[in-house]
């Protein structure tokens, strides 16, 4: 369990999250994920990284129960860990393909929104339940997946959007049956990895360089309002309803 790295074939590294029951990562898990992605990208033999997860869903985001139990220290830690993990995906030296099944929520959207390509299963749904969890953030990444006004509607309502709709918007490359997800992601990664390794790294740097939004700075700006929500007490009040059936 946790975060692991494998090399199923030449030029491809698969970083897998396995944190049952819903892949809600604790503070240490976000830092471990950041380290794994960065290490894979630094490997000169790797030309493409696949970011995947075990279980019924790709990611439920942060471990809210850890924040409830540890308070401010966990909030500060998870904010820093998420920022590092999201940046690691975006700044990975080679392209990153996200393989998404089931639910992709909160921090999961932060990860896939910073990936270079997304392959999703037919049952995949994406969303930010942040307002129901006493937090803010990752609108930066959701806005890379859907048009701006849809992003705002999804954010304010905590609704989710399916893989088929994201495919129509052009942010998901392929939608496949769940049992074909890993093969489809590896197939795309194999196509990428067939290119010259040095040229791929130059291409990744060039494409990041022309991005209209500085995703690292934009996300950290959002996180400042999470701190404000915590200091005002509203975050704890909302998080107190988590898991009680009184959310919203």
User: Per-residue b/e over 203-223, b at no fewer than 16 CB within 10 Å?
Assistant: bbeeeeeeeeeebbeebbebb
Name the DSSP class of 11. T
Q: Is residue 87 part of a domain?
A: yes
User: How far is the C-alpha of 89 from the C-alpha of 144, rounded, in Å?
Assistant: 14
Q: Is this model's pTM higher than 0.85 or not?
A: yes
Q: What tens digit of pLDDT does each residue of 19-36 get?
A: 999 999 999 999 999 999
**Quick one: pLDDT band at residue 160, thresholds 50, 70, 90?**
very high
Report pLDDT digits (tens) over 111-134.
999 999 999 999 999 999 999 988
d(CA 7, CA 9): 6
Q: What is the DSSP string of 90-150?
A: HH-SS-EEEEE-SEEETHHHHHHHTSSEEEEETT-EEE--GGGTT----HHHHTTTS-HHH
Residue 247: inside a domain, yes or no?
A: no
Residue 187 belongs to some domain of the structure? no
**Residue 160, CA distances (Å) to 103, 143, 150, 171 in order:** 9, 13, 11, 15
Cβ count near 62 (within 10 Å): 30
Q: What would the pLDDT profile of 211-225 be if each residue is shown by its tens digit? A: 999 999 999 999 999
Residues 6+ away with beta carbon under 8 Å from 239: 64, 67, 68, 133, 134, 135
| 242 — pLDDT class (breaks 50, 70, 90) | low
Task: Give percent of the chain above pLDDT 90.
Answer: 82
Residue 204: the pLDDT is: 98
Sign, Cα dihedral of 202, 203, 204, 208? positive
Determine, yes or no, domain membership for 188: no
pLDDT at 13 over 50: yes
Which of the four pLDDT bands, split at 50, 70 and 90, describes residue 140? very high
Task: Kindly report the CATH number assigned to the domain that includes residue 29.
Answer: 3.90.226.10
Flag whether pLDDT at 66 surpasses 50. yes
- Across all residues in the chain, what is the average pLDDT? 93
Residue 194 included in any domain: no
Give residue 108's domain range. Answer: 2-177
Residue 67: per-residue pLDDT: 74
Nearest to 57 by CA among 102, 120, 93, 7: 102
The answer to whether position 217 is within a domain reads: no
Q: What percent of the chain has pLDDT over 70?
A: 97
Q: Give the residue carrying structure tokens 């990041």.
A: 208
In a domain, 99, yes or no: yes
Is the pLDDT at 244 greater than 80, yes or no?
Answer: no
Does residue 93 form part of some domain?
Answer: yes
Q: How many domains does the chain have?
A: 1
How many CA atoms lie less than 13 Å away from 219 in the CB half-sphere? 26
Query: Would you give the DSSP letter of residue 59?
Result: B
In tens, the pLDDT along 36-47 reads 999 999 999 999
């Amino acid at each position: 369990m946790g975060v692991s790295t494998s090399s199923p074939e030449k030029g491809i590294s698969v970083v897998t999250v396995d944190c049952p029951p819903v892949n809600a990562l604790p503070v240490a898990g976000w830092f471990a994920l950041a380290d794994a992605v960065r290490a894979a990208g630094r490997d000169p033999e790797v030309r493409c990284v696949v970011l995947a997860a075990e279980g019924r869903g790709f990611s439920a985001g942060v471990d809210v129960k850890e924040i409830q139990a540890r308070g401010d220290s966990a909030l500060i830690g998870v904010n820093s860990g998420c920022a590092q993990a999201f940046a690691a995906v975006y700044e990975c030296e080679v392209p990153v393909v996200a393989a998404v099944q089931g639910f992709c929520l909160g921090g999961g959207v932060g990860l896939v929104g910073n990936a270079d390509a997304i392959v999703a299963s037919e049952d995949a749904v994406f969303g930010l339940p942040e307002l129901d969890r006493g937090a803010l953030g990752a609108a930066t990444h959701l806005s890379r997946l859907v048009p701006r006004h849809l992003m705002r509607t999804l954010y304010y309502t905590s609704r989710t959007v399916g893989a088929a709709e994201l495919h129509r918007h052009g942010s998901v490359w392929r939608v496949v049956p769940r049992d074909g997800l890993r093969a489809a992601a590896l197939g795309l990664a194999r196509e990428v990895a067939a290119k010259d390794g040095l040229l791929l790294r130059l291409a990744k740097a060039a494409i990041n360089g022309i991005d209209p939004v500085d995703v690292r700075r934009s996300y950290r700006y959002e996180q400042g309002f999470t701190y404000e929500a915590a200091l005002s007490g509203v975050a704890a009040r909302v998080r107190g309803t988590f898991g009680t059936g009184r959310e919203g």
